[in-house]
Structure 1
Amino acid sequence: MFVGTLRLDLLLGDVHSLKAKRSVVRPIVAELARKFGVSVAEAGALDLHRRAVVGVAVVAADARHCREVLESCERLVAGRPEVDLLSAQHRVLRPEDDLAAVEDAYPDGG
C-alpha cells in the first residue's frame, strides 16, 4: 500500500476577508474530494486572506496510481481561474517508509 501526499500553495484572487477566502477554498476542497476520492483539507496559511495551503492525501495499491491521482488534483486546481498555483509538492511513501518521512517532507507542518 502506498500513500501519496500533495501540498498546494495557492494565491487567491480578489479576497479581502477570511469569509471570502472560505468561499473560494471550500468549493475547491469539496470538488477534489468528490471527483478523486482523496482526503483533502485547508492545511496552512489559515490566518492570511489571500493565501491558502491545501493538503491532499491518497492511499493506493501502487505508486503509479498515487502519482496519477495527485497529478490530476494538481491540474484541477491549476485550472481554476480564481487561484494561482504558486507551488505543488508531491510525495509518495512506500510501505517501508514511516511517518518520519512525511515530517521530513513537510518540516513546517503543512
Structure 2
Amino acid sequence: MIFFLEVECMMYDGHSLKDKRSIIKRLLAKLRNELNVAVTELDYHDLWQRTKLGIVTITNERSHGEQVMQEVLRVIDTYSELERTISNLEIV
C-alpha cells in the first residue's frame, strides 16, 4: 500500500523566503531521518508564508501506514513556526 499525505501550512512569523526555507529544511530532514518517509515541497515555492508538502510511505500493512502518517502530522504540529491548514491522505 502507498500512503500519500498532502499537507498545506502557513508560516506567520517568517519574513522572507530565506526564513521559510530554513524552517522547511529542518522539518524535511526531521521527517526523513526519524520516520523514514519521502517528503518534498510541492507548491508555493515563491511564497514566504505558505507551503504545500507531499509525504509518501509504502508498507504492506494499513495500520502501520496510518501510524506513520499520524506521526508525520504530530511532528509537523510540534513546529510552532507552522500552522497546518489542510491535510489530505490518499491510500493506493
Partner of 2:8: 9
1:62 and 1:27 map into 2 onto residues whose CA distance is 29
Give, in angstroms, the shift of residue 85 of structure 1: 0.6
Unaligned 5+ residue runs, structure 1? Answer: 94-110
1:17 and 1:81 map into 2 onto residues whose CA distance is 17
Higher RCO (CA < 8 A, seq sep 6+): 2
Give, in angstroms, the shift of residue 52 of structure 1: 0.6
Number of equivalenced pairs? 92
TM-score (norm 1): 0.80
Partner of 1:96: none
Percent same amino acid among aligned pairs? 24
Q: Secondary structure at the match of 1:47?
A: coil
CA RMSD for the aligned pairs? Answer: 0.9
2:67 and 2:91 map into 1 onto residues whose CA distance is 11
Partner of 2:79: 80
TM-score (norm 2): 0.94
Partner of 1:29: 28
Instruction: Report the structure number with the largest CA radius of gyration.
Output: 1
Q: Secondary structure at the match of 2:27?
A: helix
Give, in angstroms, the shift of residue 60 of structure 1: 0.5
Amino acid in the other structure paired with 1:53:
K
